[in-house]
Amino acid sequence: MYKSSKNTYAYKYMFFPLLLAISVYLDVSALRQENVWQYYWTNFPAPMSWWATAWFLILILRIRHVHADESGITIFSLSGNKTLAYRNVEYVSEIALTSPGRFALKYTDPQTMRAKKILVIPEETPEMADFIRKHIRRENPKYSSAIEPSRWSTLRLALITAIPFVLYGVIQNVVTGLAK
């Protein structure tokens, strides 16, 4: 049996409030600076901290604690446990450059017939993903790794979404520097 890391709960419930507090602190300290150089150094990280907070919110909303065995995947949540057959899984996609390793699991909920996507932080990253893939192929011979999204797509999306925050920080510092 493969299962999620014990750190799943820490990621889900502890890091977001901490990051939110850091973001608020950076915003408040940037607004209170009177020295120009102190303002630059506190003002630029503030938008980036909000970007990181938004990405952590996505992580929190999607991360689940799961167990995978021969019979299927059990997804644990506060609203109750759900057992998922491997035939309902659309794909497993490992996410590049994450530590600890994560993978996305897209499945069709048999009760609502809607596609859902969750994130899993396994204890043994490649082994759990390979185990699930092997069982998906057994249940669904048409499954191919070619339908899995690129493992780099999350990183590309994160970098693309960072551009407005970086530009905001740079422009704000330039405009503020010209005004003073």
**Domain tally for the chain?**
1
User: Per residue in 39-66, pLDDT tens?
Assistant: 555 566 777 778 888 888 888 888 899 9
| Cα separation, 145 vs 154, whole angstroms | 17
Indicate yes or no: pTM above 0.75.
no
Structure tokens at 99: 């530590």
- How does DSSP classify residue 107? E
User: In which domain, by residue range, is 78 found?
Assistant: 2-152+165-173
- How does DSSP classify residue 100? S
Residue 96 φ/ψ region, left for φ over 0, alpha for ψ in the -120 to 50 degree band, beta for the rest? beta
User: Per residue in 103-127, pLDDT tens?
Assistant: 889 999 888 899 999 988 888 767 8
Distance of CA 34 to the CA centre of its chain: 37
Residue 180 lies in a domain: no
- Which strand (E) or helix (H) includes residue 7? none
Q: Angle at which helices 45-62 and 36-43 pack, to 10 degrees?
A: 20
Residue 179 lies in a domain: no
Residue 160 lies in a domain: no
Q: Angle at which helices 153-179 and 36-43 pack, to 10 degrees?
A: 160
Question: Which CATH number belongs to the domain containing residue 71 in this structure?
Answer: 2.30.29.30
Instruction: Give the per-residue pLDDT at 74.
Output: 93
